[in-house]
Amino acid sequence: MIGTALITGASSGIGKEFAKIHAQKGGNLVLVARRENNLLELQEQLIKEFKIQVEILSIDLSAEGAAKKVYAFTQEKNIFISYLFNNAGFGGHGKFIDRDLAIDNQMIHLNVIALVELTHLYLQDMRKHKEGWILNTASTAGFLPGPLQATYFATKAFVISFTKALRQELKGSGIHISALCPGPVKTEFEKVAGMDGSDMFAKGASANSTALKGYNGLMNRKLIIFDQVSYNFLIKCLLPFVPNSLLSKIVEKIQTI
């Protein structure tokens, strides 16, 4: 039987779709997010439809010590996490100098620190069991400079680099790690990031198709998973030949609302 998956940011968007996909395969779930009502609704739906076990934990992962509380929650319930989906994250639009530093620090804590802490904690158990699957939700933004979203783009660059390094360290351990790098996706991200009405998101991929490609890519042990073939081509074949100054101007223009 497929093992239990812990999914952060599970109350909506890509995280919610990860939960549905894993449930369809018969896997139990631990769903983590801030909005308890959304988690309760999803829990009821998945238990009723797929007859699986679903635990929920409402917590703000950007808060100090939150990752340890998540780990303690699964330890107390004696749940071995075979699949870790580090999906929670948010962005923010505007010039860095004009943004609230506290919000950007919160972004770094959620997008980077919580991800690192959860990975370190659950890797200990995965190493003991000699098995495990980890999918870190990064972004195509991690390959680019990000004027008007400088901190967000930088956090995703960290996630990609971190995943690549761990991939090498975990060779032969039975633990597999991948990074999902989608382009714009139709989720709540654009609203939270202050980019409502952007054409970039209006033409984005669906959360379901993105989650499915991420899930299948992890199962196929791909290191970097793009949700669209065009991004794979652009980043691998064209990006190396574009000067950084021009690239920054292009990204800035795309993100100007």
Which amino acid is residue 207, in one-letter code?
Answer: A
State the pLDDT at residue 245. Answer: 85
Profile the chain (257 residues) by mean pLDDT over runs of 10 residues: 94 97 98 98 98 98 98 98 98 97 98 98 98 98 95 98 98 98 76 53 80 98 91 80 86 85
Q: How many CB atoms lie within 10 A of CB 55?
A: 17
Is 146 in contact with 193 (CB distance < 8 Å)?
no
State the pLDDT at residue 103. Answer: 98
Which amino acid is residue 95, in one-letter code?
Answer: K
Distance set, CA 156 to CA 140, 162, 171 (Å): 8, 10, 23
Which strand (E) or helix (H) includes residue 72? Answer: helix 66-76
**Greatest Cα-to-Cα distance within the chain, rounded to the nearest angstrom:** 54
Closest C-alpha to 187, from 44, 56, 33, 54: 33
State the pLDDT at residue 31. Answer: 98
Q: How many CB atoms lie within 10 A of CB 246?
A: 9
Q: How many CB atoms lie within 10 A of CB 168?
A: 9
Is 100 in contact with 50 (CB distance < 8 Å)?
no
Q: How many CB atoms lie within 10 A of CB 182?
A: 25
Residue 199: DSSP 8-state: H
Say which residue the tokens 């999902």 belong to: 180
Q: How far apart are CA 163 and CA 161, in angstroms?
A: 5
State the pLDDT at residue 193. Answer: 47
CATH architecture of 4-255: 3-Layer(aba) Sandwich (3.40)
CA pseudo-torsion sign 48, 50, 53, 58:
negative
The full set of domain ranges for the chain reads 4-255
Catalytic residue list: 152
Helix, strand and coil percent figures for the chain, each rounded to 5: 55, 15, 30
Pure H helices in the chain: 13-24, 36-50, 66-76, 101-108, 115-129, 150-169, 189-192, 199-202, 207-219, 229-233, 244-255
Which amino acid is residue 139, in one-letter code?
Answer: S
Q: How far apart are CA 151 and CA 93, in angstroms?
A: 9
Residue 55: DSSP 8-state: E
State the pLDDT at residue 67. Answer: 98
Pure H helices in 130-243: 150-169, 189-192, 199-202, 207-219, 229-233
State the pLDDT at residue 199. Answer: 59
pTM value surpassing 0.85: yes
Q: How far apart are CA 182 and CA 91, in angstroms?
A: 14
State the pLDDT at residue 247. Answer: 86
